[in-house]
Amino acid sequence: MATKSKTSDAKVPVLKGKEAEDKVLDYMKRMNRPFGAVDVSANLKGSVPKAAAQKILVALAERGLLVQKTCGKTTFFVANQANLEDMPAEKLAALEDEYKKLDEENKQLVAESKTLSADVAKLKSAPTDEELAFEIGKVADAIEKAQTHLEPLRAGMPLVSAEECEQLEAEWMRWRKEWVRRRKVFSTFWSLVTDALTPQEARELGEDLGIEQDTGEHGVLEKGPLCSSGSVLGKRRR
């Protein structure tokens, strides 16, 4: 039968007497921050129970090793600052130099981090290989179409003169205006004729009379560049 594996977290032994007192005092001096009995016991991983920690803290305060302070109903203890060893000037200067060095290194790391973050942002905004391939394909198709349009010109086909363009423009504007006018006249007349008919009856009447309505191509033409305001054969007037 297989034996049970040991847990990775070994149980912390509970300290008592002088050993527990030294443990608490050393912790309070090392941290040099205000703590309550609950915090001390928890931070020492339960090696000193909460009740014992409270008694030890009170006893250390009575002996002047700690200072006891009360905030409302809560009691805190902190290491007596008068008992702490003064820091030599040489050690303070060394710590100051070390701080300045670390601060400078930190600034360099922050600057490097910003640069790397900017590089990452550029890489994320750049198109992928698949997107580049797709765009290259679109450009290649556009080039091929343009080459096809250029072939007649390269073969010697005469260009359309400015006068011919003006004539085509005039013809286009004239007949488009006539188209729009006739369509309006028909729409007005047809509305009067079919006012008392249902949509199905009106459709049947139109079929009997052989009336041809505008097709989808007419709608596309109306919305296209040729019919846009100020357009001349698809080009804007200047």
pLDDT at 228: 67
pLDDT tens track for 17-72: 899 999 999 999 888 889 999 999 999 998 999 999 999 999 999 999 999 998 88
| Contact status, residue 53 vs residue 15, Cβ threshold 8 Å | no
Read off the pLDDT of residues 165-194 as tens digits, 9 standing for 90 and up. 888 888 888 888 898 898 899 889 888 888
Tell how far CA 185 is from the center of its chain.
Answer: 56
Domain boundaries, the chain: 17-82, 106-153, 162-236
Predicted confidence at residue 231, as pLDDT, reads: 52
Give burial (CB, 10 Å; 0-12/13-18/19+) of 18: exposed
b/e map 82-105, b = 16+ CB within 10 Å: eeeeeeeeeeeeeeeeeeeeeeee
Does the pTM exceed 0.75? Answer: no
Class level of CATH domain 17-82: mainly alpha
236: confidence class by pLDDT, cuts 50, 70, 90: very low
